[in-house]
A and B are shown apart, each in its own frame.
Chain A
Amino acid sequence: MSDAQLMERPKRWDAPFDREMSDAVVDELLGRPEFASIDASRFPAAAPLRGIVQNDCRISIYAPGDIVVREGDYGNSAFLVLSGELRVVLPPGLPRQVLGRAPEKKRNAFSVLRDMLTHSQFPEVRDTSLHRSASGLGRGTETRDSLLRVGDPAGLFGPGVNPAADPSRIPPLAGAFKTGTLPAGTLFGEIAALGRVQRSATIYAESECRVLEMRWQALRDIKNRDDTWRDRIEKGYRQNQLSTHLAEHPLLSGIDAASLQMIADRTLFETYGSFEWNVGFKSSKGGEHPTAESEPAVAKEGDYPDGLLLVIGGFGRVSSGLGHGARTLTYLREGDHFGLDELLEAWKSGEDCAYETSLTALGYLHVLRIPFSVLADLVFPKLTRPKKRLIDAAARPIADDAFLEWAVERRFINGTKTMVIDLEKCTRCDDCVRACADTHGGNPKFIRHGPKLGNLMVANACMHCVDPVCMIGCPTGAISRTTEGGMVVINDISCIGCGTCANSCPYDNIRLVPIREKNGQQVLDPVSREAIVKATKCDLCSSLPSGPACERACPHDALKRVDIQSLIRRAAQLEA
């Protein structure tokens, strides 16, 4: 075994959230009412409650004015207020410049150039000293954005107000901002952490606060084993989604606050399908993918609607019967709605009007159902009738369905940066693969191969999905979204090579690679003598100033990183 190096196989808590979590702090936390009520015996020995609190949580102190979470950020953790008071800024929120978005750390051209010229001749070389110590994940010296450091305090707090006058408390924001208080004991950020979506509001410390930050894995484990936490999370999830989505939905834009509250009181929150849809999807690979008929039905063609459905998460397939099957007309995602055409018709004519199309859940679908009576009283009188109906899509030639059916069936609609290659332009020169390898230490992060429809091929490169199911099972939080841009990236240091993400990815876009020392020796586990592996995938060259190298390298404009929905919208605009 002279050509191999030994390294203990990485484990879940090798890289804890905070190395400074002492036993005394853990005892204190476990003694708090939020944790004391949890039955610790329901946790497995491999991931006990104490271990979760010790390793997947950390305590942060926020000074008055410090921003804890920013609207629009992607986050992988939830927060529990231990002491002090926080304030949430409700929509429309703070101006972008106030949020002081710090750019992600980008490497300069020369550092990339140096790496390119000096990269190892061996594949997948790592500095294992970093992995052994995992010290790169300590708390470090974080700098926080603060409302005290904004350029124009008068625009935020009102003229003449000095936000730093009282060091123990920040003054209230000007009257133009709608805010709410989050006292000690409040749990927040769980929607973004568990739902893999952007933070919906900005939250800052009003007084000095002590906040427990929990990795989403901790939240998931506790939620799965404790009913009180599950109820609490689901209640908060429902309430926050409801108010935010109703306030922001364009259909309800002209509605006053009192009416919105009335709508909220009567609105139902519904979930269809499975949140972990990828499991069934993957097992059907190579065989038949689910069709509209086999998917969980939300609304059926011919049934009578009782309310308007607003999509707030997941994907839905709109279909209509054709011959002996169902034809996909379009798909819906967050922000879209279903049933408006029929309900408006019914309201105008005073007669029942059946659904013209069906809606099924593609994986999972979160919807809000606003009852017809509420719409008739509060919304329809102010609503302009849309120019197009969903069923109009059925007028297109059947032959034109192929791409949409394919993209929906294979869930490519999930991708925001899908690598689509036009095979009629691609000369198979592999310049894209070489460019990727050059910018990643000689290791290409994708395979120029994948499913093909006509002249289009979706290559095996991470699509940076709207719903990144690869993040679901990661035990260490190594796979996460970047704060800005929401790209899905893997922290190589905390990745333990368990393969959960690779197994979860419905598109086989994550690979596990055996790592090597700089001298080319393979790194082995000292006990099992098996190779130490790490998950690897396209990071969209997020650390490069120039963007994805693959796209820039294509001499024939054949390779594009596309959001299929944006492409559809752009095409529609251009056609118009």
Chain B
Amino acid sequence: MRDLKIFAAIRFNAVKRAELRRTWRMLGLFWLCALLLWAVVTGLAWYAERSLGNASIVTGYALFAVILSLAFLKVRKRLLVLPLGTVREWMLGHIVLGTVSVPLYFQHTQSLWPSGHYEQVIAVAFFAVTLSGVAGYALQRLLPRRLADIEGEVIYERIPSEIAQVRSEVEALVLKAVKELGSDTLGRYYAESLEWFFRKPRFIFGHIVGSGRSASWIRRRITALRRYLSEGERAYLSQIEALALRKSQLDAHYALQSVLKFWLFFHVPAATLLVLLGSWHLLVVNIYAR
């Protein structure tokens, strides 16, 4: 017989906790490996310096290897069939290695801002990738919770057609109201004010920062009109208000999902640029070192 602690189970709390423990164990292992790697690199660099060698060769190669490993996350995502762990595990490794790459960078450059022009370009690429990575991590932790709180779920690519659907429903309502009640107040107000809102996603920034501007705009516009309407028109206005709120939810989805999608359009090209610049740097250093 099923255990009667079903209420605990249906909230997935226990399962969630178990998964969290598994994640922490895995993270611990990755951190241990990363610290070990960092310690080995630091040790080798120290040894190279004591032997009158060049420590930056050691840290440079290590940094480049780490950057390449980080870039392999993208490749791993496409080659899922190979038995090399789940993408979740790779992602955790990506985060840990990404963090380790920062001290490695400073060990390699010995400064925040290198002196050579080419090295400065690499530094810009490195900072761009690092900062966008940190920002992406934060966004991926915060925005899904905000999205989950919005009533209804919509696939990003379907948002324009959903908005068009809402718009056509509102326009049909306005036309019906004008035709049925013989007053054009609602129609005029829609054309002057509301049509702007229903035309395309609005209050993008407000939705991203969670300001609630969209909802208050709708409330203000609806309240402003209500006093000029008859009882019959007010019933239509209530329906339009419900559709406006639905549109506002779609806008919120559009805004938040856009951010979640488009930060990668910055992070991935910057990372690609960093790999290319780093490869050239490695090549040049090796040629002139001889």
Within residues 415 to 449 of chain A, which ones have a CB less than 8 A from any CB in chain B?
A: 423-429, 431, 434-435, 438-439, 447-449
Interface presence of B24 (CB below 8 A): no
Which chain B residue lies CB-closest to A431?
Answer: B77
Question: How far, in angstroms, from A109 to B83 measured CA to CA in the complex?
Answer: 8
Check: A3 CB closer than 8 A to any chain B CB: no
Contact between A572 and B5, CB atoms less than 8 A apart? yes
A404 contacts the other chain (CB 8 A): yes
Nearest residue, chain B, Cβ from A391? B4
B23's partner among A112, A427, A557 (CB-CB below 8 A) is A557
Q: Give B166-197 interface residues, CB cut-off 8 Å to A.
A: none
Task: Report if B2 contacts A (CB, 8 A).
Answer: yes
Q: Is the CB of B153 within 8 A of A546?
A: no
Tell me which residues across on chain A come within 8 A of B264, comparing CB atoms: 429
Do A423 and B4 form a contact, CB below 8 Å, given A109-B81, A429-B260? no
Give per-residue flags for B238-264: 1 if the beta carbon is below 8 A from chain A beta carbons, else 0: 000000000000000000010011001
Q: Does B82 contact A (CB under 8 A)?
A: yes
Smallest distance from the beta carbon of A453 to chain B beta carbons, Å? Answer: 10
The answer to whether the Cβ of B224 comes within 8 Å of any Cβ in the partner chain is no
Closest chain B residue to A549 by CB distance? B80
* B1-45 with Cβ < 8 A to chain A: 1-15, 17-19, 23
**A132 within 8 Å of B by Cβ?**
no
How far, in angstroms, from A427 to B142 measured CA to CA in the complex? 10
CB closest chain-A residue, reference B22 = A557
Stretch at the interface among A167-175, A291-299, A395-403, A512-520: A395-403
Would you give the shortest CB distance from B59 to chain A, in whole angstroms?
Answer: 29
> How far apart sit A400 and B1, CA to CA, in the bound complex (Å)?
20
- Contact: B5 with A576, CB < 8 Å? yes
Instruction: Verify B6–A392 contact, CB threshold 8 A.
Output: no
- Type the 1/0 row for A482-526, where 1 means its CB is closer than 8 Å to any CB of B: 000000000000000000000000000000000000000000000
A553:B77 contact, CB within 8 angstroms: yes
- Say how far A393's CB is from chain B's closest CB, in angstroms: 5
**B15 x A553 contact (CB < 8 A):** no
Q: Which of B63-71, B85-93, B201-209 lies at the interface?
A: B85-93
Q: Is the CB of B153 within 8 A of A457?
A: yes
Residues of A within 8 A of B154 (CB): 449
Report the separation of the CA atoms of residues A541 and B5 in the bound assembly, to the nearest whole angstrom: 34
Q: A336-B2, A337-B1, A427-B143 are in contact. Are A568 and B10 (CB under 8 A)?
A: yes
Are B83 and A393 in touch, CB under 8 angstroms? no
Q: Considering the chains assembled together, what is the distance between the CA atoms of A568 and B8 in angstroms?
A: 8
Does any Cβ of B come within 8 Å of A544's Cβ?
yes
B131 to chain A, nearest CB (A): 19
B148 at the interface (CB under 8 A from A): yes
> Which residue in B4, B19, B148 is a CB contact (below 8 Å) of A388?
B4
CB–CB A546/B81 < 8 A: yes
State the CA gap A437–B147 with chains docked (Å): 25
Q: Do A396 and B6 contact each other (CB < 8 Å), given the known contacts A546-B83, A574-B14, A574-B17?
A: yes
Beyond A403-B10, A428-B257, whether A423 also contacts B5 by CB under 8 A is no
Which residues of B are found within 8 Å of A449, using beta-carbon distances?
153-155
Which parts of A449-498 form the interface with B (CB within 8 Å)? Answer: 449, 452, 454-457
Q: Does A116 contact B (CB under 8 A)?
A: yes
B 226-248 contacts with A by CB, 8 A:
none
Q: Which residues of A contact B257 (CB under 8 A)?
A: 428
| B79 contacts chain A at the CB level, 8 A cutoff | yes
Say yes or no: A425 contacts B13, CB within 8 Å: no
Contact of A553 among B18, B87, B152 (CB under 8 A): B87
**Cβ of B220 < 8 Å from any Cβ of A?**
no
Does A567 sit at the interface, judged by CB under 8 A? yes
Q: Which residues of B contact A4 (CB under 8 A)?
A: none
Out of B78, B80, B88, B261, name the residue touching A546 (CB < 8 Å).
Answer: B80
Which residue in chain A gives the minimum CB-CB distance to B157?
A: A430
Interfacial residues of chain A within 36-64, with CB under 8 A of chain B in the complex: none
Contact A400 B2 (CB under 8 A): no
Check if A382 is an interface residue, CB within 8 A of chain B: no
Q: Does B266 sit within 8 A of A, measured CB to CB?
A: no
A208 to chain B, nearest CB (A): 44
CB of A32 within 8 Å of the partner chain: no
Q: Is A556 an interface residue (CB 8 A)?
A: yes
- A439 and B81 contacting across the interface, CB-CB below 8 Å: yes
Complex: A498 Cα to B119 Cα, angstroms: 65
- Shortest A148–chain B CB gap in Å is 36
Using A426-B144, A428-B260, A553-B87 as known contacts, say yes or no to A393 and B6 having CB atoms under 8 A apart: yes
A544, B4: Cα distance in complex, Å: 37
CA gap between A568 and B1 in the complex, in Å: 12
CB distance from A308 to the nearest CB of B (A): 12
- Inter-subunit contact B8/A572 (CB<8 Å): yes
10 contacts between A and B (CB under 8 A): A336-B1, A393-B6, A447-B155, A552-B86, A553-B87, A554-B87, A555-B87, A555-B90, A558-B144, A568-B3
4 more A-B residue pairs beyond the given contacts A337-B1, A423-B147, with a C-beta to C-beta distance below 8 A: A424-B148, A434-B77, A555-B87, A557-B19
A-B interface, 4 closest residue pairs, ranked by CB to CB distance from nearest: A571-B9, A572-B3, A396-B7, A574-B14
